[in-house]
Amino acid sequence: MTAKGFLTDTTVCIGCKACEVACKQWNQLPDDGFVFTGTSYDNTGDLGASTWRHVAFIERPGKHPTDGFADLSWFEGDEAPGAKPAFGPDPTGDFSWLMMSDVCKHCVHAGCLDVCPTGSIIRTEFESVYVQPDICNGCGMCVAACPFGVIDRREDDGRAWKCTLCYDRLKGGMEPACAKACPTDSIVFGDVDELRQIAEQRVATLHERGVEEAYLYGESAESQPGTGGLNAFFLLVDDPEYYNLPPDPVDPTVTVGDSWRAAAATGLAMVAAVVGVFVSIGKAGR
C-alpha cells in the first residue's frame, strides 16, 4: 500500500486546536494536566504520551507573511469602506502569530522503531509508525531516540505512546480525526506522493504572492536525509527552530555504527590489557 501521511500547511492554521480536541476525543487520551504556560495561547506545550496533536503559537514582531491575502471586503461592507475588521490581521502590524499543528512525523527511517528492543513499534501497511500497546514494556529507549521529542512514556501506565496516524480509522477507510476536524485544511491527509505535489504547488503559489519564506520541512529524503524524509511533513515560513523543529534531525541508527566500532576496539583493548598484565606477572606459582 502507498504511504499515507499528513501535510500540515502552517500558513492557513488559525490555531483553533480542533485537531488537538478531535485527537484526544477519538483516541480517548487522558488529560495531561491543566497547565498555564504563560508564554502564549499555547497551554498544551508539547507533544507527549497523551498529546498527539499540539498547536504551537509563535508570537513574533511584524506582520504575518500572508497578511493581506484575505479579502475582507465582504466583512467591511459597502457602508464602511476601508474600515478595519474587529479581528483578523493585526491592523497595526506590530506583531503576528505563526501557528502550527505539530504531530508525529512518521519518519521514513524512524529512530523510535529502529531502537525498540521488543518489536512493539512497527511499520504498518500505511507506512506509518505504530506502537503496539500490548507489547511495549516501557523501556524508554524510543523516548530518548526520537529526534523530534514526540514519543513519551505515560507515567501512570508505564508504556510509550504517540500518534497512531489513527490506525483504527485508516483501517476503516476514514481519514485521521485531526485532519477530519481541521476547519481550514491546514492538516491534509493523503498519499504522501500526492501530498508532496500539493505542497510544492502551494509553496510555488506562496512564492508567487511574495511569501518568499515559504518552504517545505521534511518532505523528502533529499531535504532531510537523517530521517529519510517524513510521512507527516510541514509547510513553514520561518526557521524550524521557532516551531520547535530540529533543523537537521537524524535517526540515531544512522550514527550508532561509529559507537559499535569504538566498542569493538575498546573490547579488544580490554582483553589486551588483562592478558598483558597476566603475562607480566606470570603464573600464580602456588
Partner 1 sequence: MTDDTPRFIGDQGRVGDAVGAEQQRDSGHDGYPAPGRTDHRRPSLAAEDGSPTYYDQPAIKEPVWIWSVPAYFYTGGVVAGAALIGAVAQLVDRDGYDGVVRRCRLLAAAGTALGTAFLVHDLGRPTRFLNMLRVFRPTSAMSMGSWTLAASSGTAAAAATLPSLGAPRLADAAGLAAGVLAPPLGTYTAVLVSDTAVPVWQSTRRAMPALFGASALSSATDALDLLDLDEHEERLTRRIGIVAKTGELAAAVTVERAAEDVHERVARPLREGLSGGLWRAAKLATATSLVLSLLPVPKRLRSLRRILSALAGTVGALATRFAVFHAGTASARDPRATFEPQRERSGGAGSVAARRVGAGTETQTGSV
Residues between 72 and 101 that touch partner 1 (CB under 8 A) = none
**Do residues 67 and 180 make contact, with C-beta atoms less than 8 angstroms apart?**
no
Binding partner 1 (rule: CB under 8 A), the pick from 151, 163, 177, 178 is 151
Least distance from partner 1 to the Cβ atom of residue 158, Å: 3
Which residue number, 24 or 54, has a Cβ lying nearer to partner 1?
54
Residues 31-50 that bind partner 1 (CB under 8 A): 37, 39-40, 45-46, 48
Binding mask 185-204 for partner 1 (x = CB under 8 A): x--xxxx--xx-xx-xxxxx
> Is residue 242 near partner 1 by the rule CB under 8 A?
yes
Cα(120)–Cα(138) distance, integer angstroms: 10
Three cell numbers, residue 79? 457602508
Q: Which of 217, 231, 232, 234 binds partner 1 (CB under 8 A)?
A: 217
- Of 18-26, 27-35, 86-94, 114-122, which segment contacts partner 1 by CB under 8 A? 114-122
List the one residue from 103, 146, 178, 232 that touches partner 1 (CB under 8 A). 146
Cα separations (Å) of 13 from 9, 104, 159? 7, 17, 32
Our CB check for partner 1 shows the closer of 22 and 146 to be 146
Give the CA distances from residue 220 to residues 51, 128, 227, in Å, rounded to whole numbers and listed in that order: 26, 15, 9
Residues in the chain: 286
Q: Give the closest residue to 97 by CA, choosing from 11, 183, 215, 218.
A: 11
243 near partner 1, rule: CB under 8 A: yes
Contact criterion met (CB below 8 Å) for 111 and 147: yes
